[in-house]
Chain A
Amino acid sequence: MKRNRIIISMLVVLLAAGMLFAGGAAESVYPDPEKNITIVVPHAAGGSTDLIFRTLAEEMKKVSGVNFLVTNITGAGSATGTNEVINSPADGYMFLGAGTHTTAATMQGLTNGYKELDYIAALNWDPFIIAVRNDKPWKTLEDLVNDAKSRPGKITLGNAGMGGATGVASVGLNLAMNKAFNVTPFNGGADLIASVLGGHCDVGIFSQSEVVANSASFRPLAILTEGHSSLPSLASVPNLAEAGYPTITVPGGSFRSIMVKKGTPETAKKWLADTAEKAFNSASFQKFMKDNGLIPVFSKLDAFAEYDKGIIADYEVILKEANLYKMTN
C-alpha cells in the first residue's frame, strides 16, 4: 500500500515537472517550427486583398522557414474574419489581413475590430480609379460632376459594398459633390464591373487591376490619390487636383496591413513585424507591388499605430456624415 502511494506521488511530481518543462519550452521558442501561422483574409479567395496576402505569405515562408497558411473567412463586410481573429488565442499564431476594411467595419459597429487588435505592419495602398464605360458621354470628371449636379440623384455611382473602402470613398466623394450622385452598393468588385460594363450603373469606383483588365471598355476619369499610378497604362489618369477638384480629399484607396489580437506577447509581435518587413522588402514582393500599382507605405508596430490614427480620423468624418458610424464607446 505504502509503496504504491510513494510511486503515485513520484509520478505526480514527475508529471508536474514535465508539464512545467513543456510549458517553459513552449514559451521560449516562438515561433514553434512545428506550428503553422495562419493569416486570416476576411475577403474571398482570388480578390485583390487575398492576392496581396497570399504573395506576402509565400515570402514570409521563404525568409523565416515557418509555414504560413492563408485562410479566407468572408462575411459581414470583413467583420466575420476579424471576429475569428479576436475570438482566437493571442498566441501569435494567427494574424489578420487588416486594412481600411477593418477600420470601416469597426466604425460601422460590425466588430470590435481595431479596438481589440494590435498593430504589426502597414503594407501598401491600392489607389481607386473612377471610371465609366467608354461609350458614355462624359470625357472628364468635370463633365460627369456637372451633369450629375444638373440632375441630382439621376447618375448612379456604384461601389463594391458599403462596408468596404470603395464604399467609404464613394460616400466621401458624393458628400463633397453635394450628394449629386445616387450611390449604390454592389456585391463585390466583380459584380460592380459587370454592372458598369452592362450599362446598369453609370459610374464605378474600381481598383487599378480591375480597370486594367477591362481597359478596352473603360474610360478612367480620375485616380483618387495625390500622385499618379505607377502602371504604364494608367499613368496618364489625372488625380483629383488635376481633374479640377483640388479641395476634395477622400481616402481614395484600400490600405492593407497586418494586425494581431491584443495581448499577443511582445516577442511574437516583434518577430512577426520583422519577418513581414523582410518579406515586404524581398525582390519578388516589391515586383508584385510594382506590377499591380500598389503604393508601398511600410511601417511597423508603434510607427504603424501612429500612421493608422490618420486613417481613422479621415474615416470618422466621412462615416459620421454618411450616418454609417455606429461604433459605441
Chain B
Amino acid sequence: MDVFLQGFSQIANVSTIIWMAIGSVVGIILGALPGLSATMGIALMMPISFQLPTATGIGLLLAVYCGAVSGASIPAILLGIPGNPNAIATVEDGLLMTQKGKAGSALGGAVVASFIGGIGSLLALVLFSPLIARLTLAFGPAEKTTLALVGLVIIASVSGNNIWKGLLMGAFGMALAFLGTDPFSNQLRIPFSKFLATTPLSKGLDLTSTLIGLFGISQVFFELRKPLLVGQHIEPVKIENIFPPLRKILSMWKIILSSLGIGTVVGAIPGTGASIAVFMAHNSAKNITMNSKGKLDQVGSGSLEGVFAPEVANNAVTGGALIPALALGIPGDAATAVLIGALMIKGVTPGFHLFATNMSLVYAIFITMLLANIFMASFQLFGVRLYPKILSVPQQILLPLILILSFIGAYAIAGQATAVGIYNLGIALVMGMIGYFLKRDGYPIAPIVLGLILGGMFEENFRRAVKLAGGDYLTFFTKPICLLFMALSILSIVLPIIAKKRGKR
C-alpha cells in the first residue's frame, strides 16, 4: 500500500493533470486527422516529456495514445475515412449509421466502447500482466504465421456480397505487401528496381499513405461523380441520443467480452497490432449477432454492435500493448515502442527489473492510464455533439478540405523527410485512383487492407518459422497453438457454409 501511495504522489499534482488534459485533446485531434497516428503523436510529444518528471511525462504520452486511438473513429463514422489504422473496421457500420441519420449515437457508442476497452484492458494490465506476458511469449514465428492465417480467413467476412471479389482484393493486398525489400536478405523486390532502388519506394508501400489513398482520396473522387448539389438545402443534422441505453450495452456483453479479449491479447503479442485486432473483433461480433436469434442487430447493417466491437478492441490494444512493454521491455506495438524509449531516456529500463525495483512508478503509470481514459471519454463526449456539424458543411467546401487534409496527412507522416513525404503523396494519389475504380465497380476495399497488413506478417513469420525448424515445413503441425489456429481457420470457413445449407432446408 505504501508503494501505491508513493506512486500516487508522483502524479497527484496540477501539472500532471494539465499536461494529461492537453495530451488527451492533442491525441483526439491527431487521431481524427487522416494519417496522423498514435505513434506519431507520441513521438511529437516526446521532447516535451523529456522536460517533465518521469511519471508526468509518461502520463502525457499515454493521454496522447488513448486519445489518438479513440479520435480515429470520428472521421471513420462521419465520412467513412479512418483517421488511422485503428479505425479501419469501424468504417462499415459507422458510415451506414451516419447515412441512416444516427451519427450521434454511433459516435457516442464509439466513445463508450473506447472507454470500456481502455478500462477493461487496464484491469487486465494491472491484474494479469505476468500471466499475459508469459502467454504472449508462447507466440513465436510459427504461432504468428497461423494467427495471420486466422486473420486472412476474415477476408471472406469483410467481402460484402461478392466473396470472389473480396478474395481477389485480398490477393491484391497481399501482392502489394510483398513489394519492397526481402525481410531476410534486404534485397530489392520491386519492379524497375534500377530506378527505384534509391527512392523511398524501395522499402515498399507506406501503409498509412496507402490507407489514406484507398479510403480518403478515393471517397472524394467517388463523391465527385455525383452532380454537385450547389445551393441545395442541407438538412441540419439532428443529434439524437448520444448515450446508448444501458440495457443495450448490457445486451452486447458477449461482443464486449470477446472484443476486449481479442484486443488485449492481440495488442500484447509483439508484431501484431490494432489493425488486426479490430478486424478480428468485428468478425467475432458478426458471428455473435448472427447466432443471437434476432436479439442483437446484425453487424454490417449499420448497427451499434458493428461500431462497438472494433472500438472496444482498439482501445483494449492500448492496455494490452503495455503489458509486454512494462513486464518484459518488449513493445506490443509501434506506439509503445516510443513509450519505452521515453522511459529509457529517463534512465528507467522497463522489464522485470522495473517491477522489482520501482513498483511505485509502475503504479503511477497504471493510474495515469486510468486518467488518460477518463480524459479521453470526457473530452470525446463533449465533442460528440459538435462533430456531426461537419456533415452540414456544403460539399464544395468539405470535399476539397478532405482532399487537402488527406494529402497533408500523407506528407506529414514522413516528418522531416521531404523525399519520403513526396513519394507518400504519390502513393496516396495512385491508391486513391485505384480505390475509386474499385469502389465504382463494387469491389470491397477492406480486404486489400487485410491482405496488405497480414501478407507481410504471414510471409516473414512463415519463412522465419521454417528457418528455425531447419527447413522443416511440418513444424506448424507440431505446435498446439498452431493446430488450434489452423482448426479455427478451417471452422470459420466451414461453419457458415453448413449453417447456410441448414437454413435453406
Q: Footprint of B on A, CB under 8 Å?
A: 36, 38, 40, 44-47, 50-51, 54-55, 58, 69, 71-77, 79-81, 83-84, 86-88, 94, 105, 108, 110-112, 153-154, 156, 161-163, 182, 184-187, 190-191, 193-195, 197-201, 209-210, 212-217, 291, 324, 326
Complex Cα distance, B421 from A40, in Å, reads: 14
Complex Cα distance, B418 from A69, in Å, reads: 14
Complex Cα distance, B343 from A51, in Å, reads: 10
> Would you mind naming 13 contact pairs between A and B with Cβ atoms under 8 Å apart?
A73-B420, A75-B181, A76-B202, A162-B184, A190-B331, A194-B137, A197-B328, A199-B140, A200-B140, A212-B353, A217-B352, A324-B185, A326-B187
Contacts A46-B340, A76-B186, A201-B468 given; does A214 touch B329 at CB 8 Å: yes
Complex Cα distance, B181 from A161, in Å, reads: 12
Query: Nearest chain A CB to B493's CB is how many angstroms away?
Result: 28
Query: Nearest chain A CB to B254's CB is how many angstroms away?
Result: 31
Complex Cα distance, B181 from A306, in Å, reads: 32
- 4 interchain residue pairs of minimum CB distance: A46-B341, A200-B140, A75-B203, A213-B351
Complex Cα distance, B330 from A238, in Å, reads: 26
Closest partner residue, chain A, to B341 (CB atom): A46
Q: Is the CB of A54 within 8 A of B345?
A: yes
Complex Cα distance, B46 from A161, in Å, reads: 27
Query: Nearest chain B CB to A139's CB is how many angstroms away?
Result: 21
Whether a CB of chain A sits under 8 angstroms from the CB of B489 is no
B311-342 Cβ-contact flags toward A at 8 Å (1 or 0): 00000000000001000111100100111111
Complex Cα distance, B415 from A84, in Å, reads: 12
Whether a CB of chain A sits under 8 angstroms from the CB of B349 is yes
Complex Cα distance, B481 from A199, in Å, reads: 14
From B188, B198, B337, B467, A86 is in contact (CB under 8 Å) with B198
Complex Cα distance, B329 from A197, in Å, reads: 12
Closest partner residue, chain B, to A193 (CB atom): B330
Q: Is the CB of B334 within 8 A of A44?
A: yes
Query: Nearest chain A CB to B427's CB is how many angstroms away?
Result: 13
Closest partner residue, chain A, to B336 (CB atom): A46
Complex Cα distance, B417 from A162, in Å, reads: 25
Query: What chain B residues lie within 8 Å of A185 (beta carbons)?
Result: 183-184, 464
Query: Nearest chain A CB to B78's CB is how many angstroms away?
Result: 30
Whether a CB of chain A sits under 8 angstroms from the CB of B261 is no
Q: Is the CB of B418 within 8 A of A182?
A: no
Query: What chain B residues lie within 8 Å of A217 (beta carbons)?
Result: 352
Contacts A46-B341, A215-B353, A216-B352 given; does A187 touch B460 at CB 8 Å: yes
Closest partner residue, chain B, to A184 (CB atom): B467
Contacts A162-B184, A193-B328, A193-B330 given; does A71 touch B136 at CB 8 Å: no
Additional A-B contact list (11), CB under 8 Å, known A69-B416, A73-B414: A46-B342, A50-B341, A51-B345, A71-B415, A76-B203, A84-B200, A110-B181, A190-B331, A191-B270, A212-B349, A215-B353
Whether a CB of chain A sits under 8 angstroms from the CB of B139 is yes
Complex Cα distance, B53 from A234, in Å, reads: 28
Complex Cα distance, B4 from A92, in Å, reads: 50
Complex Cα distance, B98 from A229, in Å, reads: 60
Contacts A40-B417, A50-B341, A194-B330 given; does A80 touch B200 at CB 8 Å: yes
Complex Cα distance, B47 from A280, in Å, reads: 19
Query: What chain A residues lie within 8 Å of B183 (beta carbons)?
Result: 185, 187
Tally of contact residues, B, Cβ under 8 A? 60
Q: Is the CB of A87 within 8 A of B198?
A: yes
Max chain B Cβ within 10 angstroms of own Cβ: one of A45, A198, A199, A213: A45
Query: Nearest chain B CB to A239's CB is how many angstroms away?
Result: 23
Query: What chain B residues lie within 8 Å of A45 (beta carbons)?
Result: 39, 43, 46, 337-338, 341
Complex Cα distance, B328 from A201, in Å, reads: 17
Q: Is the CB of B470 within 8 A of A198?
A: no
Contacts A88-B419, A156-B468, A193-B328 given; does A198 touch B139 at CB 8 Å: yes
Interface residues of B in 404-421 (CB under 8 A from A): 414-420
Query: Nearest chain B CB to A156's CB is how many angstroms away?
Result: 5
Whether a CB of chain A sits under 8 angstroms from the CB of B138 is yes
Complex Cα distance, B347 from A209, in Å, reads: 11
Contacts A47-B337, A83-B200, A112-B198 given; does A194 touch B328 at CB 8 Å: yes
Query: Nearest chain A CB to B234's CB is how many angstroms away?
Result: 42
Contacts A73-B414, A197-B328, A200-B141 given; does A84 touch B420 at CB 8 Å: yes
Closest partner residue, chain B, to A189 (CB atom): B330
Complex Cα distance, B263 from A249, in Å, reads: 46
Whether a CB of chain A sits under 8 angstroms from the CB of B180 is yes
Query: What chain B residues lie within 8 Å of A71 (beta carbons)?
Result: 415-417
Q: Is the CB of B181 within 8 A of A190?
A: no
Whether a CB of chain A sits under 8 angstroms from the CB of B48 is no
Query: What chain A residues lie within 8 Å of B71 (beta carbons)?
Result: none
Interface residues of B in 152-202 (CB under 8 A from A): 180-181, 183-188, 198-200, 202
Q: Is the CB of B468 within 8 A of A76?
A: no
Complex Cα distance, B186 from A79, in Å, reads: 10
From A44, A47, A110, A154, B470 is in contact (CB under 8 Å) with A154
Contacts A75-B200, A156-B468 given; does A163 touch B186 at CB 8 Å: yes
From B43, B341, B353, A213 is in contact (CB under 8 Å) with B353
Interface residues of B in 183-231 (CB under 8 A from A): 183-188, 198-200, 202-204
Query: Nearest chain B CB to A204's CB is how many angstroms away?
Result: 12
Complex Cα distance, B347 from A154, in Å, reads: 38
Closest partner residue, chain B, to A86 (CB atom): B198
Query: Nearest chain A CB to B62's CB is how many angstroms away?
Result: 14
Whether a CB of chain A sits under 8 angstroms from the CB of B387 is no
Query: Nearest chain A CB to B180's CB is how many angstroms away?
Result: 7
Closest partner residue, chain B, to A133 (CB atom): B137
Complex Cα distance, B270 from A194, in Å, reads: 8
From A75, A111, A216, B198 is in contact (CB under 8 Å) with A111
